[in-house]
Amino acid sequence: MHKTKQAIIWVTEILKKHHIPFQITGGLAAIAYGVNRPLLDIDIDIPDNQFDSIIDDVKPYIIFGPKRLKNDKWDLMLMTLNYNGHSIDLSGADSTRIFNETTKEWVLLNEDLMKTTQKNIFDLDLPVIPIENLIYYKKILAREVDLIDIDQIKNIRSESASEMGDNMSNFQNMYQLILEINKLKLVFRNTKPLPDRNESTAEHSWSVCMIVMILMEELKKEFHQLDELKIVKLALIHDLVEIYAGDVTAFDNEARKNKVKDEIEALNKLMKIYPEFGKELHDLWHESEKRETIEAKIAKAADAICPIFLRVQFKQALPPDITFEVFDKTKAPSFRFSKIFNKLYEQLKKDMIDQNLIKQNG
């Protein structure tokens, strides 16, 4: 333990000397939260752009990097040091990604080094990765050591934390997520309810829900067994990722190239705020994107038809480069599964043509 403590003091003093924010993560963080197991190495996150700041201090101890490392589990900026037989991994906090075997997706961790938890480790007060973030990435990695750490942490928490304390933690997470989703009111779309004001994504999501509710009786005649609550949930959360990823129009093919990647990263960021709600958010969003269930198809159809109603109502023409053929090819597939949606779409197309809101081919 004495040599481990010396290694921690050595590397953290270098980081402090250069005013570099950091957090303890990995096995040492698990030990800080009470896990009882041998320490394999010392894992520390620092900003991606700070590796060069400490090169002169650590050069004799470098055995790897600093450079990008990518394998089947990790994609990160890494520098590995060997100090008196102790392996120290310094990782880039901004761009570290881990591979989720379940979803077959790379997950961006994007750790916030300003939101660490102070813990006492070997009589040293150190900034440690928040416990929920630690559990979150260990669940994704799901190696044997990670699962053991998670089980021990859960047992420790259930034994030591009172029900009131747990409820308070959940309360704070709920509180923070509610604050965060208000940012959707500040994300603006291409459609305009007024000449000088664009529609927000929050307004759009509300309209999608109202379309679903208005059409529900007709949809039940078509499809009989429907999970009404799920459709409303899908309509509400389908664009929640735009808080971070922004809105991309259906016709902007260039901007849509990175849409899925950006939105998955945004989804993971939202999930971390309130992990207890995160799983439902994850499952609903992916169901919405896959559009395999009838509920997801209905929510997507309402999403796709909503801006057309807005254009017709407020007489907002499509840009000249979006011809009728392009418009129909992009929009029509979302409505073909349903008689009522298809009927509405045909009426809206007629109204757009009558009002000269769309350029006809030829």
**How confident is the model over 195-234, as pLDDT tens digits?**
889 999 999 999 999 999 999 999 999 998 899 999 999 9
Residues 275 and 150 in one domain: no
Average pLDDT over residues 231-240: 95
Residues 265 and 308 in one domain: yes
Tokens at residue 118, please? 């102070």
Q: Per residue in 95-107, pLDDT tens?
A: 999 998 888 889 8
Residues 91 and 129 in one domain: yes
Average pLDDT over residues 49-65: 95
Q: Per residue in 272-325, pLDDT tens?
A: 898 888 889 999 999 999 999 999 999 999 999 999 999 999 999 988 888 889
Q: Does residue 242 form part of some domain?
A: yes
Percentage, residues of the chain above pLDDT 90? 63
Q: Does residue 310 form part of some domain?
A: yes
Q: Does residue 172 form part of some domain?
A: no
Average pLDDT, the chain: 90
Residues 27 and 141 in one domain: yes
Domain endpoint, select from 160, 195, 211:
160
> Is the confidence at residue 351, as pLDDT, over 90?
yes
Q: Does residue 171 form part of some domain?
A: no
Q: Does residue 239 form part of some domain?
A: yes
Q: Does residue 169 form part of some domain?
A: no
Provide the pLDDT confidence category of residue 165 given band limits of 50, 70 and 90: low
Residues 294 and 150 in one domain: no
Which CATH number does the domain housing residue 293 bear? Answer: 1.10.3210.10
> Is the confidence at residue 182, as pLDDT, over 70?
yes
Tokens at residue 43, please? 């894992």
Residues 6+ apart with CB under 8 A from 81: 11, 58, 61, 62, 63, 87, 88, 90
Residues 230 and 293 in one domain: yes
What pLDDT score was predicted for residue 80? 96
Query: In this structure, what is the dihedral angle of CA atoms 24, 25, 31, 34, given to the nearest 10 degrees?
Result: 100
Q: Are 83 and 7 in contact (CB under 8 A)?
A: yes
Closest to 312 measured CA to CA, from 247, 251, 356, 250: 356
Residues 6+ apart with CB under 8 A from 288: 234, 237, 238, 296, 299, 300
Residues 304 and 190 in one domain: yes
Which CATH number does the domain housing residue 153 bear? Answer: 3.30.460.40
What pLDDT score was predicted for residue 196? 85
Residues 103 and 20 in one domain: yes
Residues 140 and 279 in one domain: no
Provide the pLDDT confidence category of residue 362 given band limits of 50, 70 and 90: low
What pLDDT score was predicted for residue 153? 86
Q: Per residue in 19-32, pLDDT tens?
A: 999 999 999 999 99
Domain interval for residue 25: 2-160
What pLDDT score was predicted for residue 209? 97
pTM: 0.57
Q: Does residue 255 form part of some domain?
A: yes
Residues 137 and 274 in one domain: no
Q: For the chain, how many structural domains are there in total?
A: 2
Q: Does residue 221 form part of some domain?
A: yes
Residues 294 and 248 in one domain: yes
